[in-house]
Structure formats: structure tokens, C-alpha cells
Amino acid sequence: MARALTLGNGSMLVCLDRFGYVRDFYFPYVGLENHVAGHRHRIGIMVNGVFSWINDGSWDISIGYKPGTMVGYLVCKSEKLNVSLVMEDIVYNESNVFLRQLDVYNQSNEHIDVKVFFHQIFHISETKKRNTAFYDPTHNAIVHYKGRRVFIVNGRTENGTSIDDYTVGAYQFEGKEGSYKDAEDGFLSKNAVEHGSVDSTIRFCASCEGKEKTRIHYWICAAKTLEEAYKLNEMVMKKTPEGMFHSTESYWSAWLTTRDFDVSRLAKDQKKMFDTSLFILRSHFDNNGGVIASADSKMIEYGKDDYSYMWPRDAAFIVSALDKVGFSEITKKFFLFCNDVLHEDGYLHHRYRPDQALGSTWHSAISQKEWLKDKILQLPIQEDESASVIFALWNHYENTKDLEFIESLYKPLVEKIALFLLNFRDKDTGLPLPSYDLWEEKIGISTYTCASVYGGLIAAAKFSELLDKRNHMREYKKAAKEIKEATIKYLYSDKIKSFVRIANLVDGKIIHNETIDSSSVFGLWYFGMLDQNDPLFVSSHEQMVSKLKNPTAVGGFIRYENDNYFKSTDKSNPWFITTLWEAQRTLYKDNFTAEDLTEVENVISWVLSHQYISGIFAEQINPYDGSSLSATPLVWSHAVYIETVLLYLKKKTDLETGSKDVTSPFHQL
């Protein structure tokens, strides 16, 4: 199940599903140590002796962000119980506390007695082994802990009463489903301690007159020691949950308005998604600089791993979007992170954990089997990831003019990566040496990688010129020009009338993988390698539209021909990213017209019409019914939306004022 909402503060990230159930709970890093790991923190309610779980199919549910804030808002209506529940959820912006405010609205005219049950399952540090949970009578709270990870569960009714029933039990062990089953008769067994694979359930009792409501607050404090967790619990009671909700809501509302970006001209739904996208980006950004691709741990059920890692390339696009909006104090940490993890030879690895350790990988250090006889080794990297970081850093400088920051990173980061890009090339062709492609599926020389390396070297040249390092500037420009010429010479296919997805150098010959790929066209204009009026670009773009536009009524663009990733029908899945790329390309056209603006507006309407029920973007959608597929939310999808909308607003103004703009993020070499 997709994650409907993500709530975070940079060291804690909580993900809720469409029922409002906690499904992921990351601490103390965003994206590292998921202590719930996809299990459900259930919510149940009993009204006058009739019990129901919120996910039992009898509830009408809507979920989303409270407008202009990183506050979850859930409305659940039950005809069976004749009540409505309104829940608001936050991760406190100042400390590691998850809070839930639950209002029970009595829709009848009669007095009702209400029992609300909250269930918790913590597989601390992502394993069910060696966990402990116990009831603490001195604080009237439940404690889950293992080692240096402690979680205290507590709450209060509006009348000041606390937990009035509880139990701790075995979870999915020796045939036991979990302690939550104990709630269905309205009473809990008060088992006080359990270890191993454990869960807990607590109860709050309240009453409500006809057409009135009653309120319950619930919270989880996360810390590294029991003492620290108790202090957080005491802080909640001292500050009061109401005060913490007000503080957090005010903080995120102010956060949106602290930067100079005017989105007042956007339609209401466009602005709502713009704000939501910013919250999605921020919640996935660790305070130490790591930016994970998605916190949706459901992905792990479809393969060996999930998306809770930092890919330097994905993160580069994400921080560029934040820089363009004006949140440079956040994005600085990403570049410092990259500086810390950069290999001494000047390249970045496939992906990283938020604690700067290497992430898991499937990239081999040996190239294709037919090359083994020649003992040719292959770096297990995607070269475009290293290039993208320099490109993003130039964008950071253009938006901040922070020369001191650039000077501090020039030698250890910019120069090291630039020299790697310059030297990691085939001596005969001048092309970059083989690495994994953007989609991390193929080893070879991809058009996209060549374009990104070109862009990275041009960015390095600009930094060198800025700091008056003229020899470096000339070196980088020369290498970029050679890569551009080699890309045109070796990677354009007359047969398919397009630049190819990827090629391999075998026995001195270039062998094309003659696949049309959206990233090839995107890379050529985005990194400034080719003008959009260049005949080779025009031809490649025509082939892309012809081959990659989804022919069903759903529309959108797929990644490349015969893409099988998450494919469940006879057609490949459209992606938000690739579809928005086409809108961006249109926005960067020469002689941009009102008709072009309408075309872009249609794309923006398209992406908004295919958002998930909670108002977020997935990675892909089903080509026939438009339903969300794969990681949800995907942070990169939201970053591209932000970038597209900002450019759209600028172009709309340009049309009205008669201004002109460049045709790509960089002027042509």
C-alpha cells in the first residue's frame, strides 16, 4: 500500500497509509532504521458496545495535508457507528514526538460511550528479535525499547484522563496475530510485559452527547535512552498537545512564506500541490544532508530493497528544486554530504545511507561477460550522478551567490569530480567510459550520461572562471566540447533517426542499443549539449513522441521502449517525471508562444488529475486506469513538478511582458 502522507522534522520521519495507520517510523535518521517497517499501527473504536477497525471497509475516508502545513488531516465517517472521526497528525518540528489529535463526532441525537484503541508494533532497528515492551505504572505509559532506541506511547482525553486499559503481547509469533485482537471485545488483558516480537494496545474511554464531539490526544516519543524519552513525555504534558500542534502548524505555514517565490498566480489545485511538494521534499531531507528517494517501505515487498537511500543524481534534482524556491540553507548540507562521501578518485558511488555509509547496490565491478577475456574492469557507478552534483552546485550558486561556500568546495569537490569526468574517457573516441545508465539497468555509454558529463564539465568550467582558474576552465571546456562532438558522431543512429539509449565499445567498434529513451532527449537540452533547433535533436524528439507517448486515454510518457519495470499490462507505465520533462522542454523552446503555454498547462492538469488520493505523486501510473504504482510518494516526481511550475510562472510572465529567455539551463558551448 502506498504511503498517503509523510511527516517529518529532519531526524524523524513518519509515514501514514490511506487509513491513517502508521506504516513507517524512521529514527534517528530520515530513511534509516525503520522501526515499524510496513506493519500497521491500527486504530479501533467502539461505540455503545459495537466495535470497528478503521480499515475494515465500513468507513468512508478522505486524507490529505491540512492546507499550507505539514499536518496530516484525515476524516473518517461510519454509518454503522453513526460517528465521524477527524484526525490531525504531526511530527513536532522541535523534538522527536509524533502526535495525533482525534476528534470523535457523535452524529446521533443520543448520548454515546466511546472507547478508542491505539495499537503499536515496533520491530526496532528493522527486526522482530530482542524487542521489549512493558507497561510503566509510574507514568501510566507503554514503553517499547531495544538498545539505544526507546519509544514511549501515551495520551490524554480532553477531560485529562490517561490510558485506562492496556496490554502487551506477542506479535505474529507462535500463531498469535497480535495484542490488537484483544481490543475487539472492548477490554484489554493488562499483560504488562513481553519480549521478542512484541506489540501493544492501549485504550481511552470518553462519552459524548448528541451532536457533540470529544477529543483524544495520542503521542509517541522517540529517543536513544529511557531517560530522554521520559523527558520528552513530560515535555508533551507541559507544553500540551494543543500547544505543540499550534506551534508545528505555525512553523510550517511560516516556512512556506519565508522565501521569495510568488505562486499567487497559480490555480488553487496547482498551488496546493506546489505546497505539498515542498513538504514532501523537506520531510525526506535528513538534517545531516542526506536526501532519500522515497520512504515508502512497501517497495521492499516487490524486490530485495526499497527507496530509502540517497541517489546523488535524484538528490541533485531535488536540491535544485529547493534552491530555485529559495531554501538554500537546507541544500547546503547536501553538498557537504557529497563532499564527505566523495571517493578519493573523484566519483560518487551508486547510493548512500543517510548516515553516509554506502547503500546496497546491484552494480557489478566487472563489465559484460564477453569482455571478461580482456579483463576489463568496470567501476560500479552511474557517472551521471557525479556530474549532476556539480551541475546542481552551479544552480545553487546562481540562486545564492554564496562565493565563500563555492570556494570552500572547489578543491575538494568540484575539482576532484571535474578531473574524474575529464579523465574517465575512452582515449580513441573521447566518450565517457562505460558506466550504468540513468535507469541503473544497462552498462555502457548512454546518451544521457554523455550529456550530464558535458553539463558537469561546463559547470566546472564556470566555477573555474568565477575563481579565475583559467587553465582549469580551458581544460574542462575542451573536454566538454570533445564529448559533445563524440556524442554526435557515435551515439546518433541514422537507422532509428535518434540518439540511442546506450552503446557499447566492442573490439574498437560502437555497437548501438537502438532503443528510444526519454532521458536521451531530456539530457541533450537540459544540460545544454544541443539546441532544440538542431536537426538531430528535432529528429530524436519526434521519435520520442512517436514511440514513448502512452497511446491510451490515460496519456503520459513512458521511460523507454518496452520498459518492464512494474509493468502489469501489455503497455509500459507512464511516469510523472518523463511527462513533466516534456513540459519543461516546451518551456525552454525558442519563440515560446501562447499555444506552448496552453500545452504546458495541459501537462500540469494531467499530473494533477493522476495524483494519489491523498494529493501526492507516485513514481508511475497504470497505463489504462491511471492508478498509482511503485514508490508513493516519489520525491523526484515532486521536485520536477516544482521546477516545472516555477518555470511555467516565469514563462507566463515573459509572454505578457515580451521578455526573452535562454533555450536551456546553460548557454550553448
pLDDT tens digits, one per residue of 203-250: 999 999 999 999 999 999 999 999 999 999 999 999 999 999 999 999
- pLDDT higher than threshold 50 for residue 411: yes
At 562 the pLDDT is 97
- pLDDT higher than threshold 70 for residue 663: no
Residues 536 and 598 in one domain: yes
Residues 208 and 323 in one domain: no
CA trace torsion 498, 556, 645, 451 (10° rounding): -20
Helix, strand, coil shares, percent, the chain, to 5? 40, 25, 40
Q: Is residue 668 part of a domain?
A: no
At 64 the pLDDT is 98
Residues 277 and 253 in one domain: no
Which pLDDT tens digit goes with each residue over 47-56?
A: 999 999 999 9
At 174 the pLDDT is 82
Percent of the chain with pLDDT over 90: 91
- pLDDT higher than threshold 50 for residue 11: yes
- pLDDT higher than threshold 90 for residue 366: no
Residues 241 and 277 in one domain: no
- The 3-state DSSP class for residue 36 equals coil
| Dist CA 453 CA 449 (whole Å) | 6
11-21 burial by CB neighbour count: b if 16+ within 10 A, else e?
Answer: bbbbbbbbbbb
* Contact status, residue 471 vs residue 480, Cβ threshold 8 Å: no
Average pLDDT over all residues of the chain: 95
**Residue whose C-alpha is closest to residue 378's, from 340, 432, 337:** 432
At 196 the pLDDT is 96
Residues 283 and 181 in one domain: no
Percent of the chain with pLDDT over 70: 96
Which pLDDT tens digit goes with each residue over 547-591?
A: 999 999 999 999 999 999 999 999 999 999 999 999 999 999 999
Q: Tell me, rounded to whole angstroms, the distance of Cα 241 from its chain centroid.
A: 28
pTM listed for this prediction: 0.96
CATH code, domain with 242: 2.70.98.10
364 confidence band (pLDDT: 50, 70, 90):
confident
- pLDDT higher than threshold 60 for residue 375: no
- pLDDT higher than threshold 80 for residue 382: yes
Amino acid at 241: P
- pLDDT higher than threshold 80 for residue 664: no
At 667 the pLDDT is 47
Residues 115 and 150 in one domain: yes
Residues 353 and 240 in one domain: no
665 confidence band (pLDDT: 50, 70, 90):
low
At 374 the pLDDT is 45
CATH code, domain with 389: 1.50.10.10
**Residue 22 lies in domain:** 5-257
Which pLDDT tens digit goes with each residue over 414-435?
A: 999 999 999 999 999 999 999 9
* Boundary-marking domain end, from 204, 228, 257: 257
- pLDDT higher than threshold 60 for residue 369: no
Q: Is residue 262 part of a domain?
A: no
Number of structural domains (the chain) is: 2
* Boundary-marking domain end, from 198, 222, 257: 257
* Boundary-marking domain end, from 216, 233, 257: 257
The helix or strand, by DSSP H or E, that contains position 416, with its residue range, turns out to be helix 416-423
Q: Higher-confidence residue: 141 or 362? A: 141
Amino acid at 4: A
Residues 476 and 606 in one domain: yes
At 182 the pLDDT is 96
At 668 the pLDDT is 45
At 567 the pLDDT is 95
Amino acid at 367: S
Q: Is residue 642 part of a domain?
A: yes
371 confidence band (pLDDT: 50, 70, 90):
very low
262 confidence band (pLDDT: 50, 70, 90):
confident
